[in-house]
Amino acid sequence: MITYIARRLLFLPIVLIGVTLLVFVAMSFLSPYQLVSAYIKSPEELKNQSLDDLVRKYGLDQPIHVRYVSWMKNLLKGDLGYSVSANMPVAEAVTKRFPATIELALFASVPVVLGGIWLGTISAKHYNRPLDHVTRTFAIIGWSLPDFVFGLILLMIFYGVLGWFPPGRLSMWADTVVLTGNFTRYTGLNTVDSLLNGRPDIFWDSVRHLIAPVITLSYLWWAYLLRITRSSMLEVMNKDYVRTARAKGLTEKVVVNRHVRRNAMIPVATVSGSMILGLLGGVVIVETVFDYKGLGLLTATGAQQLDYTLILGTTLFYGMLLVLINLVVDVLYAVIDPRVRLE
Amino acid sequence: MRTKSLSLLVVLLVLSLSVSVFAAPFDAETFVYVGGAGGPQTLDPAAAYDTASGEVIHQVYDNLFEYVDGELDNMGPMLATEVPTVANGLMSEDGRTIRVPIRQGVKFHSGHTLTAEDVRYSFLRGMLADPAGGPIWMFFEPLLGVQTMRNVIEMAGGSGDFAAIDEVDPAILRKAYDLVAASIEVDGNDIVFHLVEPYPPFINILAKGGSWSAIVCKDWMAANGDWDGNPDTWAKWYDLALEDMTLYDQANGTGPFKLDTWDKSGAQVLFSRFDEYWQGPASLKSVVIKNIPELATRQLMLRVGDADAIYVGQEDLPQVRTMPDVTVIDGLPQVTNTVLFYSFTIPVEGNEDLVGSGKLDGKGIPSDFFADVNVRKAFNYSFDYEAFLTEVALGAGVTPVGPIPQSLPYVNTEQEYFKHDPARATEYFKKAFDGELWEKGFEVGIVYNTGNNTRKTALEILEYNVESINPKFKVNVIGLEWATVLDKLRSASLPVFVMGWLMDFPDTHNFAVPFMHSTGTFAGYCGQGLIDLAKVEFDALVEAGIKATDPAEREKIYFELQKRYVDLAVGMPFMEATTHRVMRDWVKGFTYSPAYSAQYDYYTISKEEK
């Protein structure tokens, strides 16, 4: 297994060079004056400036290969460049925004996965009966709803009317404490840091801000897991050993929980892994609606503004994340399922 | 079943209790403004040239002068003690020497006391740093008669065409410094500016609202790693990347609010009251400026009371007008003009999506299509200004009478201007290209930047009206991303484009140059044809207009410029927009000046719960 992991890790730099080359090739189709729009972001900002001076200052007129080599050299020194759209170095932008994304992903993955499996189980258990139809319809509505619509509905009800779950990551008073008060940042995760700082009020405030985006993500993604769980369980339910289990007089609960669900879980685990990976990559629309400043919003803004250093930096980061998480999932397979051998 | 209902009840009870415990009560001392159009690019007064940056600088720094009650024609002292005039002897008869007495006893946030040397340093540092794309040209023009520090290096005998400043001979750099330094002197408690020519709006450039003229503290700057005033070392800070400049994300001014932090990842700026402010402390204790792009989220924050004021675009105003406890103040005058420009020399090759065949054959337009004054006039008479103002802009503005907004002096409001007149449009289309255009027709792509629906609609009005005149006329309204628009502007490839100009300082000159001078911002985007025309028709007058100190003489010059612009139909100014503010009705003390790029001047604001 160690050889397998080492081999996969050796591929990592090749994958990363590949993706950055692709981004650079894509960027080479843009003229220096298109790239300068990162500095003059709208027609209103076009004043008495010389575009040529800006192009020269930021080296946008350099040939693409020169820029790639210079970017690579800096990368080897640990410098990912400066992001104009985030107003900070790319590495700092990613490390500041990623904890927000991890926090949302952590809080969302539990209800997404457990809820999806639970709904899928109900559906399979009541195959083609009213409860199956109701569960599936409920989940399909969620799947079909555009995320900004459902997010806005939640925000209107739970923030606009009830005042329970506000947008953002923290309320203004908590933000002020975190930014200017005596508050140490350990992980960047508000829930964890607030507990480590002994501030249960800030912990609860950050949880309040997580609830609505988590509900949105859960409802939107349940249908997907439901379908996988349901079909996988239905397949297992027809297996001989399940019939045997029933024949020997086990209760339906034991049959479903111990014999069916456990064996139906492998495809569900695969899908859940990719869902969590998706969550870690950031969820642009949900982040936008709830003003939740995570990695997704950062990347989308950077892409919109042709902030090529940020695009390169986040591409590199996503590439690394993808390779590493896939590796972890493969290793986990081998651990969970004795039939899988990594060679 | 009963247990389940009971636990649900308990959960709901706990939830609502905890919400009421942690819900923020009305806070009369904290003001939250939520913008939506993007955050600041830099907090350095020498580099900031966008409104969001100006918004922050406005709260933290003071200028030498300010507009009394926000009125553009009523200037008062701020960090100066008097406004220089010829009458009070602080301005020389020829307008070229201006003496400014500096207020004593003013404290910076750092605790330093303001001196005349700080004021001189603020301007020298800005000019010597001259970051590309910044606003510092506004000092170079009156003080040295040039546009950039590169030009000053040329004046000193060097070449302005260097890749890095360390390529320039140190002796030349020293000479360049001496030229800049000689333009501003300290004399006791006074500052003396030496202008190369009379420049009537010079005081306006120094006034509040101009973030470039914010006064910084020399000692604090040097202690924080910036230039220390040494004549031989300034080049180290020349044209740095924004993020490498000392004041990029920190600030130390004499203004009513201290900058606590610019939380870039949270897209917010936090301020707190400066209790030793020389005009007395502000009513608000803290101010937060946030940026949230999603309008619905901003609206909900306003409704709930988490935001005291929000940004709402003109087209979305109807959505907030009916909100309870919300005040909409609209019709606030601005000094701005939105203009449809024509490119006089359009490249044909590679530009087929806009110019088609590149010939006058009914399937495209030739390169010099808009160089024909008849075509431009025909287009100008085709636009329905009235319908645009009432139906699209919802009445928020006025129709211009030329390129200079009517809120500025020296605008002839009696000037005959274009109006929607299909008969005259037809007449000019028939005259164009000696009748060939009318016979053969044309097809042209006209461009707006995607996302700007108001501009799109303006172009659609033009499209509909022009096509109605002759079935052989075909106009295609095309939306392009801003990056592509910028690229095409650089090569003057857009046959028609719409652009707005918001003043830097309230003087006619600030519109005459970009709209009419051959070296102005827009001439470069309108092709060589317009540059050549401007050299003949406009340049001499524009240059005379700024040098003239007699108001009657200035009026004569600018009236003539306006007349020529309209007669030649150089462009089609079609909107002088007003602006608005949306706030909770507990906000008191709102003041406004068209000179301020800041949405709010928090010094005057307080909050009172109803």
CB contact residues (below 8 A), chain B span 278-317, against chain A? 286, 288, 292-294, 296-297, 300-301, 303-304, 306
Distance from CA of A94 to the nearest CA of B (A): 10
**Contact state of B24 with A172 under an 8 Å Cβ cutoff:** yes
**Contact state of B265 with A159 under an 8 Å Cβ cutoff:** no
Q: Give the separation between CA B324 and CA B255, rounded to whole angstroms.
A: 34
Q: Looking at residue B43, what DSSP letter applies?
A: -
Q: Which has more pLDDT, B253 or A96?
A: B253
SS (H, E, C) B242-271: HHHCCCCCCCCCCCCEEEEEEECCCCEEEE
Q: Which has more pLDDT, A49 or A229?
A: A229
Which residues are CB-contacts of B424 (< 8 A; sequence separation ≥ 6)?
B377, B381
pLDDT digits (tens, 9 = 90+) for B577-592: 999 999 999 999 999 9
pLDDT at position B21: 45
**Contact state of A41 with B49 under an 8 Å Cβ cutoff:** no
H or E segment and range at residue B332: strand B326-332
CB nearest B133 (choices: A49, A152, A179): A49
**Contact state of B300 with A201 under an 8 Å Cβ cutoff:** no
Question: Taking residues A87-97, what's their average pLDDT?
Answer: 90
Which residues are CB-contacts of B407 (< 8 A; sequence separation ≥ 6)?
B72, B333, B334, B335, B506, B576, B594
**Contact state of B243 with A37 under an 8 Å Cβ cutoff:** no
Question: Taking residues B109-114, what's their average pLDDT?
Answer: 97
CB nearest A40 (choices: B148, B270, B486): B486
Average pLDDT, chain A: 86
Nearest residue in chain B measured CA to CA from A169: B266
Distance from CA of A81 to the nearest CA of B (A): 11
Q: Give the separation between CA A295 and CA A299, rounded to whole angstroms.
A: 6
- Measured on CA atoms in the order B403, B347, B147, B534, is the torsion positive or negative? negative
pLDDT at position B20: 46
Confidence of residue A278 (pLDDT cuts 50, 70, 90): confident
> From the candidates B42, B258, B297, which should be mutated to test the interface with A, based on the most A CB atoms within 10 A?
B297
Q: Looking at residue B26, what DSSP letter applies?
A: P
Residue A212 has pLDDT above 50, yes or no: yes
pLDDT digits (tens, 9 = 90+) for B291-343: 998 899 999 999 999 999 999 998 899 999 999 999 999 999 999 999 999 99
pLDDT at position A343: 62
Residues of B within 8 A of A48 (CB-CB) are 135, 137, 504, 513-514, 520-521
Single out the residue of B422, B300, B338, B350 nearest to residue A158, CA to CA: B300
- Measured on CA atoms in the order B31, B36, B39, B45, is the torsion positive or negative? negative
Residue A233 has pLDDT above 90, yes or no: no
pLDDT at position B1: 42
Chain A CB within 8 Å of residue B490 CB: yes
User: Of the given ranges (A195-204, A300-309, B305-314), which has the lowest mean pLDDT?
Assistant: A300-309
pLDDT digits (tens, 9 = 90+) for A246-273: 888 888 888 888 888 777 887 787 788 7
A22, A25, A29, A33: CA torsion to nearest 10: 100
The string of DSSP codes covering A200-234 is HHHHHHHHHHHHHHHHHHHHHHHHHHHHHHHHHHH
Residue B22 has pLDDT above 50, yes or no: no
Residue B610 has pLDDT above 80, yes or no: no
Q: Give the separation between CA B82 and CA B434, rounded to whole angstroms.
A: 61
Residue B150 φ/ψ region, left for φ over 0, alpha for ψ in the -120 to 50 degree band, beta for the rest = alpha
Q: Give Cα separations from A124 to A115, A117, A121, A228, A272 (angstroms).
A: 14, 10, 5, 10, 18
pLDDT at position B178: 97
Distance from CA of B475 to the nearest CA of A (A): 23
Residue A320 has pLDDT above 90, yes or no: no
Q: Give the separation between CA A261 and CA B446, rounded to whole angstroms.
A: 62
Place of tokens 């080479």: A28
pLDDT at position A210: 94
pLDDT digits (tens, 9 = 90+) for B368-380: 999 999 999 999 9
Residue B24 has pLDDT above 60, yes or no: no
pLDDT digits (tens, 9 = 90+) for B354-373: 999 999 999 999 999 999 99
Q: Are A226 and A139 in contact (CB under 8 A)?
A: yes
Amino acid letter, A301: T
Which residues are CB-contacts of A251 (< 8 A; sequence separation ≥ 6)?
none
Residue B604 in tokens:
């005057």
**Contact state of A44 with B500 under an 8 Å Cβ cutoff:** yes
Q: Looking at residue A323, what DSSP letter applies?
A: H
Average pLDDT, chain B: 92
Residue B212 φ/ψ region, left for φ over 0, alpha for ψ in the -120 to 50 degree band, beta for the rest = alpha
Residues of A within 8 A of B23 (CB-CB) are 163
CB nearest A179 (choices: B15, B134, B261): B261
Residues of B within 8 A of A58 (CB-CB) are 241
pLDDT at position A342: 64
Helix (H, G, I), strand (E, B) or coil at B418: coil
Residue A16 has pLDDT above 50, yes or no: yes
Distance from CA of A188 to the nearest CA of B (A): 12
H or E segment and range at residue B328: strand B326-332
pTM for the whole structure: 0.87
pLDDT digits (tens, 9 = 90+) for B476-535: 999 988 888 888 888 889 999 998 898 999 999 999 999 999 988 888 889 999 999 999
Q: Give the separation between CA B224 and CA B219, rounded to whole angstroms.
A: 9
Residue B417 has pLDDT above 80, yes or no: yes
Amino acid letter, A215: I
CB contact residues (below 8 A), chain B span 520-549, against chain A? 520-521
pLDDT digits (tens, 9 = 90+) for B374-411: 999 999 999 999 999 999 998 999 999 999 999 999 99
pLDDT at position A323: 85
Nearest residue in chain B measured CA to CA from A149: B296
Which residues are CB-contacts of A310 (< 8 A; sequence separation ≥ 6)?
A83, A84, A85, A86, A90, A93, A298, A299, A302
Confidence of residue B10 (pLDDT cuts 50, 70, 90): low
Q: Are B523 and B517 in contact (CB under 8 A)?
A: yes
Q: Give the separation between CA B78 and CA B5, rounded to whole angstroms.
A: 67
Residue B457 has pLDDT above 60, yes or no: yes
pLDDT at position A300: 87
Confidence of residue B11 (pLDDT cuts 50, 70, 90): low
Question: Taking residues B184-190, what's their average pLDDT?
Answer: 96
Single out the residue of B335, B336, B337, B347 nearest to residue B526, CA to CA: B347
Distance from CA of B502 to the nearest CA of A (A): 7
Distance from CA of B56 to the nearest CA of A (A): 15
Q: Are B334 and B51 in contact (CB under 8 A)?
A: no
Q: Are B338 and B500 in contact (CB under 8 A)?
A: yes
CB nearest A205 (choices: B22, B134, B263): B22
Residue B176 in tokens:
């360049």
Confidence of residue B4 (pLDDT cuts 50, 70, 90): low
Residue A87 has pLDDT above 50, yes or no: yes
Could you give phi then psi for residue B323, rounded to 5 degrees? Answer: -70, 135
Residues of A within 8 A of B11 (CB-CB) are none
Chain A CB within 8 Å of residue B43 CB: no
User: Of the given ranges (A253-262, B5-14, B155-164, B208-217), which has the lowest mean pLDDT?
Assistant: B5-14
Distance from CA of B90 to the nearest CA of A (A): 30
Helices A295-304/A90-125 angle, 10° precision: 120
Confidence of residue B14 (pLDDT cuts 50, 70, 90): low
Helices B116-129/B137-144 angle, 10° precision: 110
Give, rounded to a whole angstrom, the gap between the first and last alpha carbons of chain A: 6
Q: Give the separation between CA A275 and CA B489, rounded to whole angstroms.
A: 44
pLDDT at position B260: 94
Q: Are A193 and A187 in contact (CB under 8 A)?
A: yes
Chain A CB within 8 Å of residue B452 CB: yes
CB contact burial B555-585 (16+ within 10 A = b; e otherwise) = bbbbbebbebbbebbbbbbbbbbbbbbbbbe
CB nearest B264 (choices: A88, A176, A306): A88
By 3-state DSSP, what share of chain A in percent is helix, strand and coil, each rounded to 5?
75, 0, 25
Place of tokens 């690019």: B41
CB contact residues (below 8 A), chain A span 13-72, against chain B? 30-31, 33-37, 39-51, 53-54, 56-58
Cβ atoms < 10 Å from Cβ of A241? 11
Q: Give Cα separations from B318 to B292, B315, B323, B351 (angstroms).
A: 20, 7, 10, 40
Chain A CB within 8 Å of residue B483 CB: yes
B27, with CB counted inside 10 A (0-12, 13-18, 19+), is middle
Q: Give Cα separations from B44 to A117, B126, B460 (angstroms).
A: 54, 9, 40
Chain A CB within 8 Å of residue B267 CB: yes
Distance from CA of B266 to the nearest CA of A (A): 6
Residue B158 in tokens:
């060097």
Confidence of residue A44 (pLDDT cuts 50, 70, 90): confident
